[in-house]
Each structure stands twice: as C-alpha cells, then as structure tokens.
Structure 1
Amino acid sequence: MGTPEFAVPILQALLNYPGIEVVGVVTQPDRPVGRKRLLTPTPVKAEALRQGIPALQPERLRRLDSVEELRLLQPDLIVTAAYGQILPKSVLELPRLGCINIHASLLPKYRGGAPIHHAVMNGDAVTGVTIMYMAEGLDTGDMISRVELAIEDIDTTGSLFDKLSAAGAQLLLDTLPDLLAGRSEAEEQDNEAAVYSPNVSREQELIDWSKPALSIWNQVRGLNPRPGAYTIWDGEVLKVWSCAKPDKDEQVNDIPGTVVAANEEGIQVATGSGLLTIKELQPAGKKTMQAAQLVHGGRLSVGTVLG
C-alpha cells in the first residue's frame, strides 16, 4: 500500500525479494494533475501496471466492499509506505503476519503526514526511517527496526525524500528475514516523547522576515520542491526556492524584509537576526530563475521591502 514516488523503490524491493509474491497493490485513486487537470495514476499504480500487478484504488478503505477486495487477495503481510489513508481494524487484522509501515522519521518524533518537511524546517541534524507494526492510532505502533540518516546543509525535502526512500527499501530488505521467520522483536513507542508533523499549511509557507536568517533558510529548503516558501513583492507572490546558508549572526538595523544588496551573488535581505542571501526565486507567472536575473532586469533593487 503506497501512493507517491517515495513508495516505488519499496514496491520494487518487494518484487525482487526471493520467495515473495506481491499479490496486489493498494493506492489512492487517480487525481487531476497540472493545468489541464488530466486524470493521472499515482506513481505506485504506474509501477504496478508496468509489473502486471493488480492495483486497487478505494476512495475509502473503510468501506466493506474495499475490505472484501483485500480479503480475496489473502495477504500474509501488508506493507505500507506513504499510502495516505489510516488502515481500519478490519484491514489490520487481515494478514497473519500483520501490517507494517515504513515511516520516514525516527519515531516517535514526527508522526503524521509530513515528517520530512518538518525535520528540515526545524533544522534537525539527523532523521531516518522506522519500520513499525501498524496500530489503529496515527503512527503509534510498536517499532521493529530503524536506520539513521544525516541531514546535510545541501539537503532539501526533495533530496531527503529520495535518500529516505532508498534507505527505507534497504531497511525493509534487512528486516524481512526475521519478520517472516517470526523472530522480530518490537519496541513500544514512548508516547510522551511523540512529536506530530501534520501536512504543511499555507501559513507555514509564508516567510516571516522578522525571524532569524537561519530559521528562514531551513524553511525555504524544507519547502523545496513543494509547496515552496513565498513572500509578497509588489502585491504578488514571490516564491523563494533556495538561499545561501547564513554563516554568521549579524546585527541588522534595517527593517526585516529589506533588500540591502542585489548583485551577482544574489539578493541579500535583512531578517530579524542576520542577513539572508536569496539564490533562486520565482516571480508570479514566471519560471524559476537565478536571483541575479531579477536584479539585471532592474525589477528589484536595494531598498525594496519584501513581505
């Protein structure tokens, strides 16, 4: 059970595992995508079709007919990875080996739908993948195995998404032998240490220039490649896609959001604590560009106040 690109390497790992038959894939329904709103299959469904595996796409997994479709597949084990729906008790009880989830964080930190975004936005130095048994709560099941991964300065949510997907696939391969043999030992989560990571809200996308430069830098890379951090310039949305990491906490006397320098290096903006250099941005209705391009066009100059 999975939906986005994150789950594709995990499906492929199962397909290549000796002695395992993938009897079916469960993924979200096709959704309209792009300006033309073309009905598009999920990445997991596309991979299932390439591999000749039946793909179920229930709008609501809790419906009796959806549960019955799963029951007919007679699964021994259900593996989920970023599926997008909570499994009801009727599904959790179907497979004799249980249901396991490959979650892109070091539980109990970052339960919920956007663990990678929050890890980067919060400036964490380390993240990872946890494989756990699924329970009726949100990411509350007992933990079976985990692997840690450093978050580097060059990482964005996009790059970390790919790294954690690959790490999750490998962790699954490492975990399956003991799991299938009944030798797995699960560890209960510390619920008091739980941290939740709900899907990113529109409010979290807006840059508050009164915050420290380092905090805004983390916000920008945590929202890249989607949904993107933004500020307001000349009454319109200006997406900010990448910035240089602030190297020191400088005293700034300008109003937060003020452009204090604009040159080949980028656009330097005053924040609540320090200066932040924007490297890539995207004006409304335009493609992503180097910040210097906007400067050369004479459209943005020193003294402009963003936000």
Structure 2
Amino acid sequence: MRLAFLGTPDFAVAALAAIVEAGHEVACVYSQPPAPRGRGHELKPSPVHAFAEARGIPVRTPASMRDPAEIAAFRALDLDCAVVVAFGQILPREVLEAPRLGSFNVHGSLLPRWRGAAPIQRAIMAGDKVTGVQVMRMTEGLDEGPVLSTATVRIDALETAGSLHDRMAAAGAALIVETLAEIEAGRAVETPQAEDGVTYAKKIRPREARIDWTKPGAEIDRKIRGLSPFPGAWFELPTDKGPVRVKALLSAFEEAEGPPGVTLDDRLLVGTGQGAVRLLKVQREGRGPQDAETFLRGTPVPAGTRLS
C-alpha cells in the first residue's frame, strides 16, 4: 500500500523499518522538528527522521499538522492509509480521514488501560503484570478508536521502562505489518474499546523523579524501574564534599525493615515506609551507570547512611 508514516522517537523506528521491509510504499515520513540534543545542544533530527532520511524517504517536520497548508500537502499524497507511532501531535480529523482506508496507531498498552503519553512507564509504576501493543483506528478522541489487533507482553520482576520499551517496539513492529496485510486484504476486524477500565498515562514530569523513602518499598521499587533509564528516579547521597545526586536505575523489593531512607547494610539495601529496596544499578551525577558492586568500590555507603 501507499502510506505515510508519522512518528518521532526510537520506539517508532522499528515499526517504520518493518513497514519498509514489508514492501509498502512510504510516500512521506512526518516527524517532530529537529530539537537541541547532546552537550552542545545542537539541533538534530529525531530518530525516525534520521532513519527515513538515510533511506531516501521524503521527510516533513511541521510544527503543527493543523496548519491548512500541511493538511493540503497531506491530502495531496493520495494515500491508502497512514500509520502513526508516538508522533507527538494531536492530529485533526482532516488528516485522520484523508487516507482512503484511514489512519492507524500503534499504541503501547492494552486499551482502554493507559491511554495517553507514557503507557510503558505507568504500567510498570502501577505494578501491572501484563501489558501489550495494539493497533487501533484513529479517531479524534485520545486513544479512543476501535482496536484491530493485539500482542500481549509480560512485565518481568526486574523490568525497566527501557527493557520493556525495546520488547514492545519489536512486538509493535511485527504487529503493524501483520495488521496492514489484513487491512489491505479487507479482513481486518475492528473491536470497540470497553467503556470500563479507562486509565490515563500522564506525561512523566521531572518533579516525580525524586524518591520519597517514606513511601512503601514496593511502590518505590516500581517507580525506580518505571523511570529507568529516563528521567531516572534519584536521591541525594551525603559525602565529605556535600550531598551528591544519584539516580537509581534498577532495584528489587525485599522484606526487610528499617528507618526510611537509611541503608540497612553496606550493599545499598535501603529502608522505606514498608519493607526495603535493594539498589542494583545506580548513576552518580556526572558519571555513567554502574552496577551496585562497582559503584560501592569507588563510593562506599556503610550501613546507617541516611539518603535524602
């Protein structure tokens, strides 16, 4: 089929690559405009933009798809369908309905649970055991369209947002190729979403990232893993030169008791409001990620240290 692909982050690259590999004609890729990245804050294209450009696919980076000129350009592509994966803009009805067969989204949750911006992180933080990817027909409502296909994904005990992201990106890439084949053959079945069980995955805010050790340990553990690797849940570690910020990137809950925020041994077991959290991977400010054993060789943290 002749289609447009609208996506921006790494999560969307796998789907675009699979669509190209499957032989569909990608008439144009749409992505968010280049943004400052890295230490030099140099303007760089998004991962999807860079992938498409490297393969000679035309790329457009409109500030708004509601611009009448952009809507007209999109209509002029004469598309069979459009595929949207984490594009980053709300699309108007004129864009959604322009392709002959409609517009379809690869979404990282089992709808109607976790509609919205951060479904992968919120699923881990909420303690979900299973999540998945779904392809749905796009409507004007936020992630409210009927579902065409589903792939479930287990959430493991030591799952982070980063590891789950990679597995779900691969599952979504395979699923969209299968679904496009069903759409092209006229065999796709659309199932309305349930009206019960709707939850919203709000965008992750920086203020959420600081660890409150008075919270239950299981909740802190899920938060650490749900915010890893970005933005990274963090705490302050006292040192001779003053407190330093440390990100916690991997953890596990343990049935131990002790004062909240105080280390219970010399291997980064930290007391919480209920139970304890074992820090398995951390990152001191200005340095790279390290497993706990390596970190402690350079920065000993004896039992009784109070983290804040």
CA distance in 2 between partners of 1:294 and 1:181 (Å)? 55
The AA in structure 2 aligned to 1:213 is: G
Task: Report if the CA contact (8 A) 2:18-2:173 is conserved.
Answer: yes
1:239 paired to 2:247: yes
Structure 1 residue 287: Cα displacement = 2.9
Which position in structure 1 is the counterpart of 2:186?
182
Is the CA contact 1:295–1:301 (under 8 Å) kept in the aligned structure 2?
no
> Gapped runs of 5+ residues in structure 1?
none
- 1:288 paired residue number: 289
8 Å CA contact 1:294–1:300 kept in 2: the answer is no
Aligned twin of 1:85 = 89
Please state how far the C-alpha of 1:91 moved relative to its aligned partner: 0.3
Change (3 A) 1:297 1:5: closer
CA shift for structure 1 position 217:
1.4
Change (3 A) 1:290 1:160: closer
Per-residue deviation, residues 108-138 of structure 1 (Å, max 9, x unmatched): 0000011000111112110100100001111
* More off after superposition, 54-63 vs 67-76: 67-76
User: 1:42: which partner in 2?
Assistant: 46
> Residues of 2 paired with 1:214 and 1:130: CA distance?
28
The 5-angstrom pairing of residues 114-193 of structure 1 reads 114-193=118-197
Q: Distance in 2 between matches of 1:290 and 1:164?
A: 25
Using the TM superposition, give the Cα deviation of residue 290 of structure 1 relative to its aligned residue in structure 2, in angstroms.
3.4
Higher alpha-carbon deviation: 141-150 or 282-291:
282-291
The two structures, once aligned, show a CA RMSD in angstroms of: 1.6
Structural mapping, 1:225-264, within 5 Å:
225-234=229-238, 235-243=243-251, 245-247=252-254, 249-250=255-256, 252=257, 254-262=258-266
Distance 1:137 1:60 in 2: 18
2:10 aligned residue: 5
Give yes or no for contact 2:14–2:173 (8 Å, CA) kept in 1. yes
- The Cα of 1:192 is off from its aligned counterpart by 3.3
Larger CA deviation: 78-87 vs 232-241: 232-241
**Percent identity of equivalent pairs:** 39
For residue 286 of structure 2, give the secondary structure of its aligned residue in structure 1: coil
Q: Which residue of 2 aligns with 1:305?
A: 306
* TM-score of the superposed pair, with normalisation by structure 1: 0.92
Q: How many residues align?
A: 299
Please state how far the C-alpha of 1:56 moved relative to its aligned partner. 0.6
1:178 offset after TM fit, Å?
2.1
Alignment of 1:91-110 (within 5 A): 91-110=95-114
What 5-or-longer segments of structure 2 have no aligned partner?
1-5
Alpha-carbon displacement from aligned partner over 1:34-64 (angstroms, at most 9, x marks no partner)? 1110111111111111111100100111111
* SS of residue in 2 equivalent to 1:131: strand
User: What is the deviation of 1:299?
Assistant: 5.3
Equivalent residue, structure 2, for 1:16: 21
Structure 1 CA distance, aligned partners of 2:142 and 2:299?
50
CA shift, 1:159, in A, is 1.1
Partner of 1:275: 276
Shift of 1:14: 1.3
Given the superposition, is the C-alpha separation of residues 52 and 211 from structure 1 closer, same or farther in structure 2, using an over 3 Å criterion? same
Q: 227-236 or 282-291: which moved more?
A: 282-291
Deviation of the 1:212 alpha carbon: 2.1
Alignment partner, residue 63 of structure 2: 59
Residue-by-residue CA offset, 1:206-232 (whole Å, 9 max, x unaligned)? 111112222211111111111101112
Structure 1 residue 297: deviation in Å? 4.3
What is the CA deviation profile of residues 250-296 of structure 1, one whole-angstrom value per residue up to 9, with x for unaligned ones? 3x2x320011211xxx3111111112221222223333333345544
Q: Deviations over 1:79-133 (max 9, x none)?
A: 0011111110110120110000000110000000110001111121101001000
